[in-house]
Amino acid sequence: MEITLDKNSSNQASIKIKLFEADYQPKVDAKLKDYVKKASIKGFRPGKAPVSMVKNMYGVSLLVDEINAILGEALNAYLKEQTFKILGDPLPVEKEDNSIDWKTQKEFEFEYRIGFVDGIDLTLDSKIEGTKYSIKVDDKLLNETLDNLKTQYGKSTNPEVSQAGDNIYGDLKSVDGELSKTLSLPLAKVSKKLAEKFTGISKDAVVEFDSKEVKKDEWTEAFGLEDEELDQSKGAFTFTVKNINRTETAEMDQEFFDKIFGPDVVKSEEEFLAKVRETLQSSYDRESKVFTDEELKKVLTEKAKVDLPVDFLKEWLLRANQGKVTDEDVEKEFPIYASQLTWSLISNHLAKENGVQAEHEDVIEKTKEMIREQFASSGLGSQMEASMDMFVDNYLKGNEGQNYMNMLTSVQNDKVMSLVQEKIKLNEKQITIDEFKELLEK
């Protein structure tokens, strides 16, 4: 057997494997003899058919199977010996239909294309600079959250006369067009001038207005029009009121506190405000951690300059998912795939270089944290803890064991990111929630 490697670029190569008769014939002969013993051919007792007849009937298929097995083993063994990282799977170079004569040919040559990354050059030190973000829960954010909670847990009523902030339920109709829709109109989501037409009115009132009085985004956000309905949002309209809905804000009393955090968890307004602030901070700490990690990944990716074999990977994705995806699908999704693959390569490199390893115990603890977060607002804390081992076991065994592998990868990434923050120059920056939203939009 001869195997040769030809690197035709910095990240793609071709591998040629040449097989000689001595590489495959002994195994083919052995399988043929075994086939003769088991073959049941009409006109002959089991195991008594002539070898020549069995060979004529099954020889080619046995040869093809054996050569494919030898190729697979040889290719895998050869690639394991290489220092570069193979990406995807080797792609066989297709031969013409009649280029192989399986009955008479004694030597065979096969070719495969591979994509790879030949090492990653990235060392963690103070020359690399990044930013660690933390979101500050200020009074503005606290008050906005309180207002939302008071509205969410407030009492719903149906007053006789509408006022600002109400939801007006009724029928919207185009005077000259065909648009007709029953909807609930939140007055808080339309302009003050338009809202005034809907305040101080009662059930069965008919409000008249023109499309020019409605801003473009209000048609979707307030009136709930679908894309196909927007073309009809022109001219004069009427809105016939069927009902008026109002939510009275909840009082800051014990009943309200218990609805939010459970019975007697907090017993005063001061304790309640502190608990809301603490809960918000915990939530935004998680969000800022995720954002910080993603920003640091960008810094490290730029520093590592991983050169992916883009064309090869696109072809491999198309072949590996044959019939399930199109060229357009691959083009559309490739940037996300490439980003995830690049980070996976960097993370594995950093883990190997720095002795970072995800342990089974780490996987168990991270899974427990995830489950606790999912049940945090359910009020089933004690019951959940009593059955935690069962929850963890069921989750990690799910999806044919893929959940465990995903969690293992997540643990390694957490450890790698902790290491990154220890090694590089990290600038801490505290931001408001508004500044955080602006960063997300960039």
- Classified by CATH at the fold level, domain 129-139+263-441 comes out as Trigger factor, domain 2 (1.10.3120)
CATH 1.10.3120 boundaries in the chain = 129-139+263-441
**Per-residue confidence (pLDDT) for residue 98, from 0 to 100:** 65
**Per-residue confidence (pLDDT) for residue 180, from 0 to 100:** 95
Query: Whose CA is closest to 427, among 127, 124, 130?
Result: 130
Classify residue 90 as exposed, middle or buried by CB count within 10 Å of its CB (0-12, 13-18, 19+).
buried
Tokens 């508004």 — which residue?
A: 434
CATH 3.10.50.40 boundaries in the chain = 155-248
DSSP state of 212: G
> DSSP letter string over 350-416?
HHHHTT----HHHHHHHHHHHHHHHTTTTT-HHHHHHTHHHHHHHHHHTGGGHHHHHHHHHHHHHHH
**Per-residue confidence (pLDDT) for residue 407, from 0 to 100:** 96
Give domain 155-248's CATH architecture. Roll (3.10)
The hierarchical CATH code for the domain 2-117 is 3.30.70.1050
Pair 112, 92: CB distance under 8 Å = yes
Enumerate residues 6+ apart whose C-beta is below 8 A from 103: 59, 60
- Cα-to-chain-centroid distance, residue 34: 50
Rounded Cα–Cα distance for residues 119 and 304 (Å): 10
**Per-residue confidence (pLDDT) for residue 375, from 0 to 100:** 77
Q: What confidence tens digit (pLDDT) does each residue in 370-420 have?
A: 988 887 666 565 667 788 999 999 999 999 999 999 999 999 999 999 999
Q: What confidence tens digit (pLDDT) does each residue in 105-140 have?
A: 999 999 999 999 998 999 999 999 999 999 999 999
CATH 3.30.70.1050 boundaries in the chain = 2-117
**Per-residue confidence (pLDDT) for residue 425, from 0 to 100:** 97
Tokens 């009955």 — which residue?
A: 103
Q: What is the pTM of this model?
A: 0.76
**Per-residue confidence (pLDDT) for residue 383, from 0 to 100:** 67
- Cα-to-chain-centroid distance, residue 234: 40
Query: Whose CA is closest to 317, among 329, 305, 307?
Result: 329
Per-residue tokens: 318: 């198309």
Which parts of the chain sit beneath pLDDT 70?
A: 45, 48, 97-98, 376-383
